[in-house]
Amino acid sequence: MPLPIADRRISQLYRTLETTNGKIDDAQALNILAEVADRSGLSAAKANQTLGTMTRDQQLAAIKRGMTAGEKADLVKILDQGSVKLDASARSFFEAVLGRPVQPPPPPVVPADGNLRVTGDQSNGLTGTARPGDQIEAINLSASPTGRLHTDDTTVIATADADGRFNAAKLTGDQAIKEGDLIRMRARHADGTTGDWVTVRATGLGRDSRNAEVAIFRIGLTENAGLIDVSNINASRQISEPGAKLQFTNARTGAKTVVTLNAEGSFDPGVKLQGKAGDTFNVAATDGTNNTDFALTVGKLQVPGADGAGTVDLIKDPALHRDELDASGEPRFSTKRFTGALFKDGVSMEDPIQGQIGDCYFPSAVAAIAYQNPQALEDAIADNGDGTYTVTFKERDWRSGSGFRDVKITVDGDLYARSWGGPLYGSSRGDKGEKTMELWFPVLEKAYAQWKGSYNAIGDGGHSDVVMQELLGRTGTSMGVREGNEAAVFAQIKKSLDGKQPVSAGTYGETQAARYTNTGVYANHSYSVIGYRTADDGTQLVKLRNPWGESEPAGNGSNDGIFELDIKTFNKLYQNLMYTTP
Amino acid sequence: MAKPPEPLSEVLPLAVWVVDAEVVEVISSGPQPPEPPLRDKQRADATSRNLNAPAQKVKLKVKRVLKGEAVKELVVDKPVAGYALKAGNHGPFLIDKSKTILGRYGPDTYNFGKLEAAIKG
């Protein structure tokens, strides 16, 4: 039934909308209200035209001047009884004409591209719009360079409401937003896809006091044809915030070069400095607001390679473990270049030999993988043919849905070496010569140290299942071992090894060290599990390898670190199994 | 600890005695050294965490001397290290001039064959 509207012109307009299932948007509202304003001295057509040029306050004044009691009653009917839908903004306009309380402002128009918009300043956090239900992800690019964060390692800070709004969302902890910070954001839609990145510079938070943070340990300087190449040795992470300027001052010549970082906070290809091997560069940075005169430096970098042999370091090496620094913090060992074949006779589980570093979990995991899937290791390490090697690790990628993403780390063949020339850290079984040692394992370990930050970062313990995961891109897991669950443990070993999954086993810590002395098994140590069998008398046996490549219980043949334990002894001495799931 | 033993060539020159001996008594033990804090994402069952057992003072009954003055019994210090001793533990002990046991794992650090070959030169 048509809405009974007294005014003929308004009734005609409204009836048309009723019969066409139309709605009253801003334009239709203005048509109707022009009929109301026509008694203010203007024709309806003229009123409509004139209203369109006015501010909202002027429109309201003109309409109210021309509004009769009957028209007012008609507008009340349209608002309260009408079947034609009103847009929120049109409803708000009508309410204002009638002098009724104005409804909340209309919801924002959600951009058709699905990308978020940030509105206002950040005095109360991050506010803006996206699609309703979108998760809003953000990372503070000004606070993340020296952390182990990629530029897409975001945090979910809000969920857009039914109107597509998010309000006062905050980053916290180390990521807390300060004035001038660059905040990178995007919307993650319900289907898992994401909108484009949006980067905003924070305002409304007072004085900008945070200068550009610099991950100086990621800057690689390499002499190349009379110039110094500048690179990010971990290109998947930032050097500093996007747009930051770094000034490199050659301490020998005084020459200054200013480099502007790209949108990823890294170096564009081809950045070069004037200098030579052995030169030291003072590095200063500015974010464009702080330290614009580069008066404050963030550190020094030396171009490697000025040793007596004239060897030029190809890629900056990961720093030594702190155990190998002297009392004044200086390294007690230097590097030697190893130039042997990457693979001499393929990958063997007997190749990895742990060096003088507490990373037993690493060679244990690598040998376990070599036992089950040597090809995976050969595929992970590439000889670039220029004295460098690129190792592809796998890193959990929670956001893409694909599980893992590749992390490529490039290192050279320079290894920390003892005075007699052999490697200080991981080496290969057999020949340790600079020109003859098989390189795949020490290169792999060096790349792992490079990835994690230094040999110090990997040399205070860890988990073999994590290493397996980081090399194979399969989920690593562990199972508790204790006296009493021998059957379950043996079954798991059998299942994993039969399924071609690598397995390692860890012993207890030194608080229970007395149980190990004279057993041939060592406390707080990780062993590769490389077999199982059931003896003729029914005893279940587990075959293990010590990543030292030696030291084992008596009665196990040559001292190659490979030995068998019956399952009861195994369960007494070991506390966990670590393996990957298919 | 789980680092491999130190190269014998670095340790043997420091040894005043190399003996085949057995622990007959643990005379005293020091306090348990504090555990290093777990690193980011590290679980308690991580290996190579540089955990150590307390220092001990032990009495050794010497069966055979491979290097050094003849002796039947020694009271020696086991430093804070990644192993512990109890009565009955035996093997080759390398002992320095301060009567401290050398080698990262005490009697499990080097085997007799390796030691005898190195001492012979």
Q: Could you give the ipTM of this predicted complex?
A: 0.92
Residues B9, B10, B16, B17, CA torsion sign: negative
Q: Tell me what the mean pLDDT of segment A396-404 comes to.
A: 74
**pLDDT band for position A396 (50/70/90)?**
confident
Q: Tell me what the mean pLDDT of segment B15-43 comes to.
A: 88
Q: What share of chain A in percent tops pLDDT 70? A: 92
CB A260 within 8 A of CB A244: yes
pLDDT at residue number A307: 47
Q: Tell me what the mean pLDDT of segment A50-68 comes to.
A: 82
Residue B83 belongs to some domain of the structure: yes
Report the chain A residue with the minimal C-alpha distance to residue B81: A510
Q: Tell me what the mean pLDDT of segment A262-268 comes to.
A: 92
As a whole number of angstroms, the distance between CA A471 and CA A392 comes to: 8
Helix (H) or strand (E) holding A86: strand A85-86
CB A194 within 8 A of CB A186: yes
**Distance of alpha carbon A178 from the chain centroid:** 21
Helix axes A26-37, A44-51, angle to 10 degrees: 130
As a whole number of angstroms, the distance between CA A88 and CA A74 comes to: 19
pLDDT at residue number A52: 75
Across the interface, do B47 and A525 touch by the CB < 8 Å criterion?
Answer: yes
Q: Do domains A117-201 and A216-304 have the same CATH topology?
A: yes
Number of residues that this document lists for chain B: 121
pLDDT at residue number A414: 93
Environment class of B120 (CB within 10 Å of its CB; exposed 0-12, middle 13-18, buried 19+): exposed
In angstroms, the first-to-last Cα distance of chain A is 67
pLDDT at residue number A94: 86
CB A278 within 8 A of CB A251: no
Q: How far is B93 from chain A (nearest CA, A)?
A: 12
pLDDT at residue number A373: 96
Write down the mean pLDDT value for chain B.
Answer: 91
Other beta carbons less than 10 A from residue A330's beta carbon: 8
pLDDT at A209 over 60: yes
Structural domains in chain B (count): 1
pLDDT at residue number A104: 59
pLDDT digits (tens, 9 = 90+) for A96-134: 888 887 655 544 555 666 678 898 889 889 999 998 899
Q: Which of B65, B58, B62, B59 is nearest to B115 (CA)?
A: B65
pLDDT at residue number A511: 62
Cα-based angle A433, A436, A442 (whole degrees, multiple of 5): 75
pLDDT at A310 over 50: no
As a whole number of angstroms, the distance between CA A123 and CA A79 comes to: 38
Which CATH architecture fits A476-580? Alpha-Beta Complex (3.90)
pLDDT at A39 over 70: no
Report the chain A residue with the minimal C-alpha distance to residue B84: A514
Q: How far is B114 from chain A (nearest CA, A)?
A: 11
Query: Is the CATH number of domain A117-201 1.10.260?
Result: no
Contacts (Cβ under 8 Å, ≥6 apart) of A462? A359, A361, A362, B42, B46, B47, B48
The residue that leads in pLDDT, A512 or A342, is A342
As a whole number of angstroms, the distance between CA A409 and CA B49 comes to: 25
Q: Which of A379, A390, A400, A376 is nearest to A472 (CA)?
A: A376
Structure tokens at A29: 């509202």
Q: Which amino acid is at A528?
A: S
pLDDT at residue number A120: 85
- Which stretches of A173-275 are DSSP H helices? none
pLDDT at residue number A541: 97
The residue that leads in pLDDT, A204 or A541, is A541
Q: Tell me what the mean pLDDT of segment A12-25 comes to.
A: 83
Helix (H) or strand (E) holding B94: strand B90-95
Report the chain B residue with the minimal C-alpha distance to residue A559: B111
Across the interface, do B47 and A524 touch by the CB < 8 Å criterion?
Answer: yes
Q: What share of chain A in percent tops pLDDT 90? A: 45
pLDDT at A91 over 50: yes
A:B CB pairs within 8 Å: 125
Identify the contact set of chain B against chain A, taking CB-CB distances under 8 A: 1-7, 9, 32, 35-36, 39, 41-43, 45-53, 82-86, 89-91, 105-108, 111
* Domain spans, chain A: 8-98, 117-201, 216-304, 335-462, 476-580
Note whether A421 contacts B: Cβ–Cβ < 8 A.
Answer: no
pLDDT at A46 over 50: yes
What residues in B contact A418, CB-CB < 8 Å? 7
In angstroms, the first-to-last Cα distance of chain B is 30
Note whether A513 contacts B: Cβ–Cβ < 8 A.
Answer: yes
Residue B56 belongs to some domain of the structure: yes
Residue B121 belongs to some domain of the structure: no
Residue B16 belongs to some domain of the structure: yes
Q: How far is B57 from chain A (nearest CA, A)?
A: 14
Helix axes A56-66, A26-37, angle to 10 degrees: 40
CATH of region A216-304: 2.60.40
Across the interface, do B5 and A548 touch by the CB < 8 Å criterion?
Answer: yes
pLDDT digits (tens, 9 = 90+) for A467-504: 999 999 999 999 999 999 999 999 999 999 999 999 99
Note whether A559 contacts B: Cβ–Cβ < 8 A.
Answer: yes
pLDDT at residue number A111: 62
What residues in B contact A356, CB-CB < 8 Å? 3-4, 6
Write down the mean pLDDT value for chain A.
Answer: 87
Residue B99 belongs to some domain of the structure: yes
The residue that leads in pLDDT, A37 or A447, is A447
CB A312 within 8 A of CB A267: no
Across the interface, do B1 and A520 touch by the CB < 8 Å criterion?
Answer: no
- Which stretches of A81-145 are DSSP H helices? 88-98
Cα-based angle B25, B26, B28 (whole degrees, multiple of 5): 140
pLDDT at residue number A308: 36
Q: Which amino acid is at A461?
A: G
What range does the domain containing B63 cover?
8-32+50-111
pLDDT at residue number A447: 95
pLDDT at residue number A42: 60
pTM of the model: 0.60
